[in-house]
Amino acid sequence: MSATENSISVPTELLPGDGRFGSGPSKVRTEALQSFFEAAPSYLGTSHRQDNVKDHVARLRSGLSALFNLPEGWEVILGNGGTTSFWDAASFSLIESSSQHLSFGEFSSKFVTVVEQAPHLQEPEVIVSDPGSCPSPVESQVDTYALTHNETSTGVTASLSRPGPDGLVIADATSAAGAIQWDSSEVDCYYFAPQKALASDGGLWLAACSPAAIARIEVLCSGSRWIPASLDLGIALSNSRKDQTYNTPSLATIFLAAEMVDWINESGGLTWAEDRCGQSSGIIYRWAEERSFARPFVANSRERSPVVCTIDFEGVDADAISAVLRANGIVDTESYRKLGRNQLRIATFPAVEPADVEALCACIDYVVEELG
């Protein structure tokens, strides 16, 4: 940070009540932390295969089923490692031999790489679009379609639709789950991690699976294909049905995710969460459109994410803005490191208060003026 940047002090009256705007790990609600601290003496430091832990796993699984309004026969399974590990697991336990992928950002492209390097799978079909936009799937002869609900690196949200009558549809919902509505008739496996919209810690993956996805898992995981135990979704499925994980999970992650899911359900469910995120993101996008030095990165307003807002800047250094904001307690507004744009990336997950988003915009105005 330069001397000029270091000397800028944002007036206290402009600052948001909570300055956490990270796209993951994201803001954790204070109320959830308080509940966790109260439960910790009888919860932490105990076996994850005993009822005092399994009860919270059950709470999380049933809460997600209610939040997503899952049809009969769907199941929520979970395991350790996050979405990155789930890509590996999917390459063993969900993709039979061929897959089609939409690649329109860093994270959707990473799953492509996993499949390309898997020696037991065919070369994937890949449909690519430039960052800031999203492509559409096309009907093919593949056995699996890999979609992304919200590309966290670029701030693009995509509709989830089944390209044809055959093939599983699996959707990466890492930054969408708990904040954006989806139609279970269009998807077979909706997988995600809890450190974004679910306002928890990392180290866990979760997946809502249809009967078709469960059947695929059971066939592949009981056949001749060698699968590492930690990536075997059949093992994850059998353990999840017992409200536990194959190996020891982060108990804090499970508890905080369950707290957030309960809060969203009690507040009005996924409709409420999506409206709240839309209110917050709308504040940012309208602000950017009204400024001469800023504009939304995603040109198509229908593809702009309601949970990860990417804003380009002209004539002012976005890195300097984020550095000043961080020095004043407003953190994690930096752009995605590999995108390489003069940009801020601001999360508006359900835990973020819309009033704090309003305050953030006022703070950016102040900083831009001070930077000259």
* CA 341 vs CA 18, 224, 275, 333, 344: distances in Å: 26, 46, 29, 13, 9
Same domain, 161 and 228: yes
Same domain, 262 and 297: no
Q: How many CB atoms lie within 10 A of CB 54?
A: 16
* CA 286 vs CA 185, 280, 361: distances in Å: 33, 10, 10
Same domain, 186 and 70: yes
Same domain, 258 and 303: no
Has residue 85 been placed in a domain?
yes
Contact 200, 224 (CB under 8 A): no
Q: What range defines the domain where residue 116 resides?
A: 42-266
Has residue 234 been placed in a domain?
yes
Give me 301's structure tokens.
């307003």
Q: What is the pLDDT along the chain (372 residues), one digit of tens a residue?
A: 554 666 899 999 999 999 999 999 999 999 999 999 999 999 999 999 999 999 999 999 999 999 999 999 999 999 999 999 999 999 999 999 999 999 999 999 999 999 999 999 999 999 999 999 999 999 999 999 999 999 999 999 999 999 999 999 999 999 999 999 999 999 999 999 999 999 999 999 999 999 999 999 999 999 999 999 999 999 999 999 999 999 999 999 999 999 999 999 999 999 999 999 999 999 999 999 999 999 999 999 999 999 999 999 999 999 999 999 999 999 999 999 888 899 999 999 999 999 999 999 999 999 999 998
CATH label of the domain that carries residue 274: 3.90.1150.10
Same domain, 130 and 96: yes
**Cα distance between residue 365 and residue 325, in whole Å:** 11
Same domain, 332 and 253: no
Has residue 35 been placed in a domain?
no
- Going through 167-281 in order, the beta strands assigned E by DSSP cover 168-172, 189-192, 204-209
| pTM for the model | 0.96
Same domain, 140 and 208: yes
Has residue 301 been placed in a domain?
yes
Has residue 148 been placed in a domain?
yes
Q: How many domains does the chain have?
A: 2
Has residue 286 been placed in a domain?
yes
Give me 26's structure tokens.
């994201």
SS3 124: coil
- What is the side-by-side strand order in the sheet with 294-296? 294-296, 308-313, 343-347
Contact 344, 365 (CB under 8 A): no
Contact 138, 162 (CB under 8 A): no
Same domain, 211 and 340: no
Q: Which residue among 242, 266, 290 closes a domain?
A: 266
